[in-house]
Amino acid sequence: MSENLNVSCIQTDLVWENTDQNLKEFTAKFDLLPSDSELVILPEMYTTGFSMNPEKLAEKMNGKSFIWMKEQSARIEKIIVGSLIIKEDNKYFNRLIAMFPNGEYFTYDKRHLFRMGKEHEHYSRGESKIIFKHKSWRICPLVCYDLRFPVWSRNKNNYDLLIYVANWPDSRREVWKSLLVARALENQAYVIGVNRVGEDGESLSYAGDTMIISPKGKILRNTNEYQSEIMNVEISLDELNQFREKFPVMLDADDFKIL
């Protein structure tokens, strides 16, 4: 039985530290999605931009952005994935939420905090990954700077699709593109990177470069640079499994544990 996955990636500008306006704009963009898309991916910190002001912007897990995700996922009948600023136990997290239409959800707190932007001074890092399932697909979502750390994303034959949501500046766009391809090749999985465009409140510019890469390292589709765009892709689990059977790299992979 063929089991394809239809994914929509929303590459857009973000209104700096303005949750209400960003939620309003994403709600409008959801109305433009194809009816057959199943998974919608938003950029990192999609409600605020990459802000180091969590004291001002953080929400709790029952806050308006969480409620919005729940309501919108049910309305459009699609899984919504994106990260936002969450306060929990007097700590701040760059927390990715994967929200299902039935109200079920999974969370991942960004593990690698961007030291050069002083993210580690404002946020607490996560300690564990998540892998959630949709149909027969096993999906591992990570956040931005996690892309630079291959050990953390290493596939132990436990996922089929690796997702990165990001605010990755255009000054390092070649790194972004190169590492996404590397992660697909070394993990023998589909990789999707969803980035923003525009300029943030720190005067950093973003080119987007949202793309999907095949398990063979081929860029299957990418967005226009510096433009807001919805990228829709369909990927095949059959093709992935056939490639893994024909070229079983995983059988020779090194075993390891992260301490």
* Enzyme catalytic residues: 44, 110, 144
Helix, strand or coil for residue 27?
A: helix
Token digits of residue 37: 């898309």
Token digits of residue 121: 């001074």
Asked whether 32 and 62 are in contact (CB, 8 A), the reply is no
Listed in sequence order, the residues at least 6 apart from 250 whose beta carbon sits closer than 8 Å to its beta carbon are 155, 157, 188, 244
Burial of 239 (0-12, 13-18, 19+ CB in 10 A): middle
What are the backbone dihedrals phi and psi of residue 7, each rounded to the nearest 5 degrees, phi first?
-120, 140
Angle of CA points 66, 77, 107, to nearest 5°:
35
